[in-house]
Amino acid sequence: MNDEQSTRLIQEVANGFRLQPRAPILGTPTDENLEYENVTFPSEDGVPLEAWFIPRNGSDKLIIVNHPRYFNRYGFPSHIEPWRSMFAAGGNDFEVNLIPDYRILYEAGYNVLTYDLRNFGHSGDGNGSLCTGGIFESRDVVGSILYARTRHDLKGMTIGLFSRCLGCNATIHAVARRPEVFTGARCLVGAQPVSSRVILERILELAGVPSSRFGDLDRAVRLVTSFRLNEMSPTNAAKKVTVPTFLYQVHDDVLTRPSDVQTMFDNIPIKDKDLFWIMGTTRRWDGYTYFSKNPIKMLAWFEKYMS
């Protein structure tokens, strides 16, 4: 890739932080024969968030679920265009349907609240539609917990968190910023949190952009978002996590580096933590579908801390 092409790609990547395509919601819990309510609640800063609440009769336990960047509470339609082309180069060209996850949680005895982060799905626009790697999105995590604690039929429930990618970044940032909100939250299962710098540099590297241009990416992103890439990373925020945390990640994910999640895990300052590597694939999407196929470890974590 020549210098002009590199400059164009770097600017396109940076512009993507404010021009995020919304994916359609192509399913509902009805697809898994689950009864549900369409609900809405405000983020910490007032952005309206759209959600599904899936009740489990007789249960006093609630799992609050969010999603990766570009996804929504349904998942991501990467089996059809234009969403397929976004990540096909990494082999991530198949549908990720998260709705079966809710069936698994329901059958394990949990109520489920799953919401669209700001600027995705049907939730409202916030902060000029910017993606900030979890900084502003952390307000949505806070809003979801406050909703659960103030809704009359949920406020006495035991809460666990199931957060993925950008949603996990947001949860880590939220714990660091508003620790008092998480008092009583029993545990976190986190799928594939990621530092924006790492994933973007890998994308540029795969496209043939020389590493000498990576500093230009940081500057371009700052001009769009006002944040440096390192500010968006949950790595430092992980040092303030006090919730028992189980992280899992595709070890050979072509879009990241193992050292990124390993550093986040190492920075979590408590003993009640675990890190599970998914082996035998390079596709990031296999990390998002792993729970629906192999939920035992994650369910065991919830059971351990929510009993």
- Within 10 Å of residue 35's Cβ, how many Cβ atoms? 12
pLDDT value of position 132: 97
pLDDT value of position 16: 94
Nearest C-alpha neighbor of 23 from the set 135, 128, 98: 98
**Looking at the 3D structure of the chain, how many domains does it have?**
1
Q: Give the H/E segment covering residue 203.
A: helix 196-207
Nearest C-alpha neighbor of 231 from the set 92, 121, 130, 112: 130
The Cα 256–Cα 208 span in angstroms is 16
pLDDT value of position 1: 80
DSSP state, residue 32: G
pLDDT value of position 226: 97
What tokens were used for 295?
């939920």
pLDDT value of position 237: 98
C-alpha separations of 196 from 15, 188, 271 in Å = 14, 21, 27
- pLDDT tens digits for 162-215? 999 999 999 999 999 999 999 999 999 999 999 999 999 999 999 999 999 999
CATH number at residue 235: 3.40.50.1820
Residue 273, domain extent: 3-306
Q: Report the b/e string of 182-203 with b at 16+ CB within 10 A.
A: beebbbbbbbbbbbbbbbbbbb
pLDDT value of position 278: 98
pLDDT value of position 252: 98
| Residue spans of the chain under pLDDT 50 | none
Contact 213, 204 (CB under 8 A): yes
DSSP state, residue 144: H
- pLDDT tens digits for 40-63? 999 999 999 999 999 999 999 999
